[in-house]
Amino acid sequence: VGHDLPVCTLSISRDGKWFASGSEDGTIILWDATAGHVVHQWLAHKTNITLLEFSPLRPRLLSSGGDGSRVWDVGNGRHQLVASHGVDPTQCA
């Protein structure tokens, strides 16, 4: 478990239950902040992750890289929405 290249970005959910790390290798790791263990790890982008942001309203995570943006369901780790040039913020909330 872990990133193969340096971490570029981190994000913590508002409730403090989750944190996510995004790496130059295009991977995201979702952590349970209370227990300190990995919940999900996935290859999210073909390039480095430049942004991670948790939704304030739903268990979702926005990630952006050189190949676009994606919204992920924190519960199952699957992407919900893919955009090549950006994501409508209302889709993440």
The closest alpha carbon to 59, from 35, 39, 43, 36, belongs to 39
pLDDT digits (tens, 9 = 90+) for 36-93: 899 999 999 999 999 999 998 888 999 999 888 999 998 888 877 666 544 444 444 3
Q: Domain 7-92 adopts which CATH fold?
A: Thrombin, subunit H (2.40.10)
Provide the token pair at 33. 């902040």
Query: What residues form DSSP beta bridges with 38?
Result: 31
pTM (2 d.p.): 0.81
Integer Cα distance of 32 and 5 in angstroms: 21
pLDDT digits (tens, 9 = 90+) for 12-46: 999 999 999 999 999 999 999 999 899 999 999 99
Integer Cα distance of 92 and 3 in angstroms: 25
At 67 the pLDDT is 87
Element (H, E) at 78: none
Every domain of the chain and the residues it spans: 7-92
Chain CA centroid to CA 35, Å: 19
